[in-house]
Each structure stands twice: as C-alpha cells, then as structure tokens.
Structure 1
Amino acid sequence: MSRLINKEWMNESDRGGHVYTKGVEDFLEFADRTNVTELATIPCPCVKCRNRMRHTPINVRKHLVRNGIDKSYTLWALHGEKPFVNSFIDPIAEDAHQENIREEQILVRELEMRNLKPVVLARKKFQKNNILVVKNIMNTKDYHLRNYTLHVKDQSSLVLIMSSFEVFYSCIY
C-alpha cells in the first residue's frame, strides 16, 4: 500500500521550470526507493517511450524533461506504486511481505556478485513455489547459493525453487 504522491507537476507546461524538474526528481527518487530488483534501468514514462523502453535514471530524467511525461500514467505501478486503499493493513502480513522483499534483494545482490545479471521476466506464482532460472552458468550438477540449491535443468540453465518469493527471474551470465 502506498502513501498518496503529489503528481501535480505532471500537468506543468514549463518542463524547464522548478515545479516540473522537482517533480521529475521526486519521481526518480520514488522509483529508485521502490525498485526491489535493483536493476540499473527502469521503465521510461516519457510520451515517446510510454514505459515500453527501459533506461538508466539519468536518461529517464533527460527523456522526461525533453519529451514530457505520459499524463495518462497516473498510477506508477511499473515503478512500485500500489493503489492507495483506506483500509486496515494486517501488520503480520505486511511484515512477511517486507521480509520477502529483503530476502529477494539479498538474493539478487548475491547473484550479481557471482556475475549473474538477474532480469525479472514476470511476477508469477507457481503453486506454492516459484522458479528461478539461471541461464548460461557453470556446467555443474549443483550450484549452492545461500540456503538454496540450483539444480541443472539442461546445459544452459539452472532452476531454483523458492518457497516464499513471488518473482520469476532469468539470470544471464
């Protein structure tokens, strides 16, 4: 659940003005803060890219100033915003969700330290388990990563079954 975010800057006509540039900075800060995958690029919401292209935050800033933001992109779902709902939040469920996010971030960092580049393909629930596919990694039978064991699926990919994550990763060596 998200707090309400001021998006009035999106309607500013002067893209070089203080209000618009401050809004762009706030947007990029929000996108960086909510980026659980910690990938180097984010979807670009400018009117030309319309979230179909991914760029570094620096290039997204340039696109937003040069092209303007897609004004129909009012819920920044691709950048981590969740709909604001005025209801009771179950603190236990929220804590469990935050713990899953932290574990996911640790796993992604560890993959990156081993020169694997995680790419989120889709957030997908697979019964009670989820699958992490690691492509083009070492030609071994098993690969240990924290408390998980990657098993060879074929010569070019490995599979990791994770019980608590809701993310399907493909990692490229």
Structure 2
Amino acid sequence: MRIYVPATLDELTGAAVTAGGARWDLPARVVHAVTPALAAAYPEDDDEGHEYAAFLAAADDSLALVAARPAAVPLRAVVSLDVPDGVVTPARAEPGADTAESAVEAAAVPGVEIVAVHVDEPEAAADVRAVLTAADGPDDQDDALDAALERVTDRDLLWYDPTEIGEIPRP
C-alpha cells in the first residue's frame, strides 16, 4: 500500500541514504492513503486523482507538524512509502475533529524504503511562516491567515529522489 507521510525536514535527517536509495524509520502516526472512504468521496476521480487527494491531505498535515515544532524548517514535507497493508489501520475519528477521508494510522516500521520525498521550495518558507504567525495571532487576523494559507496550498511540492535527501535546499 502506498502511504503519504506528513513530515518535517528534521525528521529525515535520520534516513539512511545510499547511492541506490534511502531507508527511514516510519514513526507511528496518522498518514494518508487511498481508502474506500476517499474513493467514495471522489467517485469521478481515477486512481491517480485519489492518490493526489491523499497526498494533498498529507501536505496539509505536514503544515500542522511544522506549527507544532517551532525549531522545524518552515517547509512542508511528504514522504511517499510503500508498506504492507497490515501496517495501517483505519484512523480513529476524534470527536469534533475534521478527519480526512484518506487518514489512516500507521504503526512504527523501522527501515522502510523511501519511494520519494516532496518538499516546498525554499521560497515557500515565508508563506509558511506567515500562516503560522497569522494562526497564532488574534481572531481579527482571519483574512491574513486565509490569504497566507491560500498562498501555501497553491504551491506545488517539489519531488526529490530518496538519494537526494541530503541535498534538499533549505531557506
């Protein structure tokens, strides 16, 4: 099963990178995948569209991880992994939380081979910081938050081969 793991760049420093690829210790957390609920929510989309929707949900969750870690590089990161189906279970819906249709819970798995890493371009750091600043500000900054969030989510994440993890540019 292909999963999309929201991450921060500092989490990837422990990846074992070789000339032929990279392995990473998947931490237990909510990740995203093409689930029956996601496919049902977007019946007009094909498999690629469903995968993209799961990927975008992971990118959104990455922003929340960056917000929770003040020392993290202010860029979204998504790690694509292929894991056995038994590694994931349905996500538990928290009362009052808006759980994405693609959300699943992944068990911790050491040494998973990385398929790809997707990261914001370094210039996105200013927009990510603007989202985090506006989110922590007073309620009258809702317009600033909406504008900053739109700028971030309008950006495409750049694709990196697993062997390039150490070369991902940072702001």
**Fold match by TM threshold 0.5:** no
TM-score (ref. length: structure 1)? 0.23
Give the structure with the larger strand fraction.
2
Give the structure with the larger helix fraction.
2
Q: Higher RCO, 1 or 2 (CA under 8 Å, sep at least 6)? A: 2
